[in-house]
Structure formats: structure tokens, C-alpha cells
Amino acid sequence: MNITVIGTGYVGLVSGVCFAELGNQVICVDKDPEKIDLLNAGGIPIYEPGLKELAAANRVAGKLSFTTDLRNAVRRSDLIIVAVGTPPLPSGEANLAYIEQAALEIADAMNGYKIIAVKSTVPVGTNERLGSLMRGRTGMPFDSISLPEFLREGSAIQDTLHPDRIIIGADNPGAAEAMVELHRSLTEHVVVTDIRSAEMIKYASNAFLATKISFINEIANICEKVGADVTQVAEGMGYDKRIGPSFLKAGIGYGGSCFPKDTSALIQIAGHVDYEFKLLRSVVEVNQDQRFNVIRKLETIFNGELKGKTVAIWGLAFKPNTDDVRDSPALEIIQHLLDNGVKVRAYDPVAMANFRTLFGKEGVIWCDGALETAQGADALCLLTEWDEFAEIDLGELQTVLKRPILIDGRNVFKEENLIGTEFIYYSVGRPSLNQGVRQQVPVLLF
């Protein structure tokens, strides 16, 4: 197919590159001329393993191009995929200004029948609203499709080329069939449904995954108090096919551009139809609190006296293999430490520049490597589970820290590797170690 993808953010860029890889002719459009220049020069504005190489191969093969000229791109395409951002407003609702603007620009550019597929995450009813906006601007025929995206940052290409399922929300069976055809080689699980249900599937999926994470984080918090090990609990739960093993990793809570935004938006969507989504409210609340799990442990270790201490932070991205720091737990954790008079030394293998820009404040000592960050610190907190941290030489780490205190917010380190060391080690939902020895929770009296 001849495809135009509007918006070269994570979803747009990865989709564009992958559709080209699948043999389609793809034009990616963005309003930002600097981004387009970078893409045309072979650069990639985000860190995503494998994306640069795949984009380059398809550009050289003449299947992929980048432009700011939306009008020309739309006129040359049969399918327009809209993947512009829907960032949260202060109320938590999705901001639809960019997508409405894109819809109007598409309408103004139309020169014949097109399929307009929306990949951006949008509240239920938005595709219909965009359709009527467009009909007010153009007499040209088109069909609207809701085509929600489920890719994860860090494994975006794999997720796009080998998705668990494809969801196609359509009113017109002909347009739906064209979309089925486009995705046929990717998966046997193609769900064709109505537009509103497709829009809902995206929110419901993200809300459910966020619920799993908050659930296991609360189980972890209880495990700490009763002397159980959440990783063992999650493994035991996960073999039950009805539960499944994924998204049961306890830690410092979810961040990123999707879960925080989409959970808030779904609470708002429910509110608009007079439904209070109590469960999801709690999921968000638990997630917010879980970020402070690391701080609470530091307070326990230092008897509430954080002022004047030096704390090293490993990991600023909201998860590994991305430079994305949007809603990363590290933002609030570091802010809290600074507010309490702590000297913070911080490092991330790829997300430093983005973090410094988003954080936007002075006071953090930015370091160039993992061991350098730990140098002279009273405690070290691991916030993102990059391989680089997991592979560190614990003996060497122990010698550079002022005190061998390690708070592992992602359960990266194994107890067996810490035995025999001097570490005071706290993780999430697992027994703590003192000088490498497991601390027993006192006999439980009920």
C-alpha cells in the first residue's frame, strides 16, 4: 500500500519503518523540520534498539521517506495513519488538539478516497468526532479506522513485527478487510470490531497491565513485612495460565509515556459517563506511593536522618533500553532527596541528556559511569534495571562506596551473589541482607 504516517514520535516512526520493511511505500510526516532533517540525514530522534539500521535500509531501498509536506504525502497515499501525541492535560484528560489539527489538515489535502487509521491513543468516541470534523471540511470519501498500538519502548520493532494481536475498529467492512490484509502476515490474532470497542481495548489493556504491576507491588510490600520473597510468589502465581507470568515484576512502580497517561485518561473517560473507576484510582495511588519505597528504606537505614548524606542513583530512564524519562520514578525520587538536603550523584547509560532537560534543576552531580557515580556515596539506589548495573563487579562496587549500602529498586541482584560481601542490601519484596546475611523477620504473632 501507499501509506502516510503522520507524527514521527515513538509509535509513528516505528510503525512507518516497519510498514516499509513489510514492503509498503511509506512517507512519514512531521511538523518539526529539525526532526525531518535529522531523519533524512540518517539520524533517529529516539533511542530504540535496531530502529536506525532498519530505517536506513528501507530509506536506501526507496520504500521510506520523511517530509514536512503533509499535503503532498496525503495526496500520494491510500492509507493515512495518524500517530500524533495525545499528551495529558492537567486534568488527566487526553489533549486532542494535535490530532484534531492533523484531521483537518488531512481533510484539506484529500484528493480521493482514503482510509484514515488512528494509532494515537484516544478516548472512546474520538474517531467518530474526528470523522465528523473532517466531513465538515471535505466532500471526499473516507473511512475511519481505530488501529490501536501496543508496542513497548525498547522492544518496539519486535512488538510491531510480531504483535500478540492486531485490533481493527471499523464501521465499513471493506476498509476493515483492507486493514486485515495489511496486517495478515504479522499474527493470526486479528480482532475486527467496532470503532468504540477498539478505542476501549487500548485503554483497558494498559489499565489492566498497570493493575498487575500495582497488585504485585502491594504483594511485595506485604512480603517484606511477613518475610516472604515476592519473586518466588510471582513465579508461583505466574504458572497459573489464568494469571500469566508477565507484568508481575515488583519494583518502584511504572512510569513512561503510556501507563500514567492512559490510566488517568480512563479514569476521566469513566467520570464523564458518571462512573467512578475505583479500582483504577487505587492502582494509580499505589503506583505513586511505590516510588517512595526506596526513600523509606533510606530513612530506615539512616534513622530518618537523610540530610547531608550522599546518595548515588543508578538509572534515570523509566525502564531499560530507552532514553525516555517521561514520568520516570527517578524524577520524584531525586527531587525528594534534594528537598531533604541529600547530595545526589546520578548516572544512566543513555537517558542522561533527556533527564537533565526534563528535570531542569541544579543540584545533581551528573556522573559518567556506574562506579564513578558510586564513588564516596553513603548509599546507592538502583532505579532502572540496565544490564550494565546487573553485570557490575560487586567487590569493586563495595570498595568505592563510602558505606556498602545498596537499595535495589528493581530486584536486579541475586542473594547468592551478595553472600560473603559487606553489603547492607534492600530490594523490593525480598528479604534484606545485612553484611551479606539474610535478615529474618521475627516470628509472626497473629
* 199, 125 contact by CB (below 8 A): yes
Q: Does 16 bind ligand UDX (CB under 6 A)?
A: no
How far is 287 from 297, CA to CA, in rounded Å?
17
Residue showing the smallest CB distance to ligand UDX in the complex: 258
Q: Which is nearer to ligand UDX, 150 or 413 (CB)?
A: 150
Q: Which of 22, 145, 178, 248 binds ligand UDX (CB under 6 A)?
A: 248
Instruction: Please identify, using beta-carbon distances, which residue of 318 and 425 lies nearer to ligand UDX.
Output: 318
User: Residues 44-73 vs ligand UDX: string with x where CB under 6 A?
Assistant: ------------------------------
- Kindly give, in sequence order, each residue whose CB lies less than 8 Å from that of residue 425, ignoring residues fewer than 6 positions away: 406, 407, 408, 413, 418, 432, 433, 436
- Please identify which of the residues 18, 223, 258, 367 carries the catalytic annotation: 258
Beta-bridge partners for 6: 29, 82
Strands 310-314 and 343-347: parallel
Regarding 249 and contact with ligand UDX (CB under 6 A), the answer is yes
Residue pair 117/154 in contact by the 8 Å Cβ criterion: no
Per-position x/- string for 279-318, each x denoting binding to ligand UDX as judged by CB under 6 A, each - no binding: ---------------------------------------x
389: Cβ contacts below 8 Å, ≥ 6 apart? 314, 315, 370, 382, 412
Q: Are 318 and 325 within 8 A, CB to CB? A: yes
Strand 190-193 relative to strand 79-82: parallel, antiparallel, unpaired?
A: unpaired
249 is in an annotated binding site: yes
Task: Pick the closer one to ligand UDX by CB: 259 or 302.
Answer: 259
Q: 297-303: long-range contacts at Cβ-Cβ below 8 A with a sequence spacing of 24 or more?
A: 297/407, 297/426, 298/379, 298/381, 298/407, 301/379, 301/405, 301/424, 301/426, 302/378, 302/379
- Identify the residue among 59, 297, 309, 319 touching ligand UDX (CB under 6 A): 319
Segment interacting with ligand UDX, rule: CB under 6 A, options 88-96, 164-172, 188-196, 254-262: 254-262
Taking residues 114 to 153 in sequence order and writing x for each that binds ligand UDX by CB under 6 A, - otherwise, the string is -----------------------------------xxxxx
Select 98 or 247, whichever has its Cβ closest to ligand UDX: 247
Helices (H) then strands (E): counts for the chain: 19, 16
Interaction between residue 258 and ligand UDX (CB under 6 A): yes
* 258 is an active site residue: yes
Q: In this structure, what C-alpha cell is assigned to residue 394?
A: 560487586
Residue 284 Cβ vs ligand UDX, minimum distance, rounded to whole Å: 13
- Options 203, 259, 347, 355; binder of ligand UDX; rule CB under 6 A: 259
Residue 28 pairs in a beta bridge with 5, 66
Cα torsion through 92, 199, 105, 31, rounded to 10: 60
Determine if 251 is a binding residue for ligand UDX (CB under 6 A).
Answer: yes
- Where is the binding site for substrate, in residues? 150-153, 202, 247-251, 255, 319
- Where is the binding site, in residues? 30, 35, 86, 121, 150-153, 202, 247-251, 255, 261, 319, 326
User: Which parts of this chain interact with ligand UDX (CB under 6 A)?
Assistant: 149-153, 206, 209, 213, 247-249, 251, 254-256, 258-259, 318-319
Active-site residue set: 258
